[in-house]
Amino acid sequence: METYYIILLWVGLLLLFWGLSKGLAEVEASIELNLERAERATSKPTMPDFDKPDAVADVIGQYMNTPIYRKVTIGPMEYHFDRILMPGDYQPLASNERSIEPGIVYVAAAC
């Protein structure tokens, strides 16, 4: 009778280990999925959409064979040159900023 209990304990122990390994596999899959989501969320920003200026004034330089203007007009707003978006180093534009191709950023003129 004693061997029956020992065999029963071993079977129970094996079932416990099997259940733990199955549960740990699910936890690991969940962690990997969360890591993938986090990597996608923190991936590098993409280049913002480019605007077409309605009017331009005063060429102050050139970037990638494109003139850099001191000021541009897009719609009813006037914008002044601020900076260049370097390839691969894109940052989201603020609500008062516009970009023209190939990555020349203009900021709204102060009223």
| Residue 78 belongs to domain spanning | 55-108
| Residue 28 sits in the same domain as residue 71 | no
For 42, 60, 62, 84, 100, the CA distances from 109, given in Å and listed in that order, are: 32, 17, 21, 17, 16
| Residue 72 sits in the same domain as residue 100 | yes
Residue 108 main-chain phi, psi, to 5 deg? -60, 140
Helices vs. strands in the chain: H and E counts, helices first? 1, 5
Counted domains in the chain: 2
- pLDDT per position as a tens digit, 10-54: 988 898 888 888 888 888 888 888 888 877 666 665 666 789 999
In terms of pTM, does the model score above 0.85?
Answer: no
- pLDDT per position as a tens digit, 98-109: 999 888 999 997
How many residues comprise the chain?
111
